[in-house]
Structure 1
Amino acid sequence: MSSASPDKILLVAKDRTLRTLLERLLVGGGFAVVDGGTGADTVALLESAGPIALVVCERTGPGLDEVALFEEIRRSPGHGRVPILALPPADPECTARALEAGVDDCLAKPFHPKEFLTRVERLARPTARGNTP
């Protein structure tokens, strides 16, 4: 992590309560959070927010399937390799679809906050403590 500013996480979550909780966890973990809302403008936010260390995506809003969003991020010329942590429901089918679409990791809900932060740290700061994505 740079001493000038914390690593930025783009957070996409349909559920406002969950988004608020995740934002608090991330800020408490030393990250800056860019609110991706429900996902409609995620790729545009990636292009305008500067360097993003990780995209965390719970579920997207109406009109945008999260798998389509993952595929769109992967096609983005400037951010196609940004790590993605998907937070699918505890359903193996959802997890498989996310992984097939190119996400780097999945953490099924419900999950423990410590496990969430550990996975975020591993993906957003791969050189810290010898982590590799």
Structure 2
Amino acid sequence: MTPAPLVLIADDEPLMTELLEFRLSARGYDTVVAHDGREALAKLDETNPAAVVLDMMMPVHDGFEVLRRMRASTQHAATPVIMLTARRGEADVVGALELGADDYLVKPFLPEELLVRLSRLLAGKKA
């Protein structure tokens, strides 16, 4: 039996991380949570997740900085990242995609849509 894919949830809102942990584990994923950008970068190196759900607005380092550092590292350059954020401006969306985000969802979002997008990203990574 293959181990469940590990997903890093990086978001500073406790209710959001609880919701995501619940929905992802119900779908068979293992999860690890980071509540700010520094913690997200540390957990990336500690756990080497299969994918990251990343909020843009977090303390210490924002999502852009976390994504920038991920894409600059050899270990995490190809790790799928879904930005999940309240920021819906064109500059935010385009900026995140240009930095290497694989997908972008705006809060409020449909949890089921996030699960489908995540599943597709992980399936593409295996292919």
Q: CA deviation at 1:93?
A: 2.4
Structure with greater strand share of residues: 2
Identity %: 29
| CA displacement, residues 57-108 of structure 1 (integer Å, 9 cap, x when unaligned) | 1234323121111000111221211010001223322211211211111011
Structure with greater helix share of residues: 2
Q: Tell me how far apart the structure 2 counterparts of residues 43 and 63 of structure 1 sit (CA, whole Å).
A: 11
Unaligned runs of 5+ in 2: none
Q: Which residue of 2 aligns with 1:54?
A: 51
Q: CA deviation at 1:127?
A: 6.4
Q: CA deviation at 1:21?
A: 0.4
**When the two structures are superposed, what TM-score results if normalisation uses the length of structure 2?**
0.88
Residues 43, 76 of structure 1: 8 Å contact kept? no
Q: Which residue of 1 aligns with 2:124?
A: 126
Given the alignment of the two structures, is residue 33 of structure 1 paired with residue 31 of structure 2, yes or no?
yes
The count of corresponding residues between Structure 1 and Structure 2 is 126
Question: Where does 1:47-126 land on structure 2 (aligned, <5 Å)?
Answer: 47-50=45-48, 52-89=49-86, 90-126=88-124
Residues 10, 33 of structure 1: 8 Å contact kept? yes
Q: Tell me how far apart the structure 1 counterparts of residues 89 and 19 of structure 2 sit (CA, whole Å).
A: 22
Q: Tell me how far apart the structure 2 counterparts of residues 40 and 80 of structure 1 sit (CA, whole Å).
A: 17
Unaligned runs of 5+ in 1: none
Q: Tell me how far apart the structure 2 counterparts of residues 13 and 46 of structure 1 sit (CA, whole Å).
A: 14
Q: Tell me how far apart the structure 1 counterparts of residues 62 and 55 of structure 2 sit (CA, whole Å).
A: 11
Residues 56, 85 of structure 2: 8 Å contact kept? yes
Residues 40, 61 of structure 1: 8 Å contact kept? no
- The answer to which of 117-126 and 7-16 deviates more is 117-126
- Runs (4 or more) in structure 1 with deviation over 6 Å come to none
**When the two structures are superposed, what TM-score results if normalisation uses the length of structure 1?**
0.84
Question: Residue type of the partner of 1:74?
Answer: R
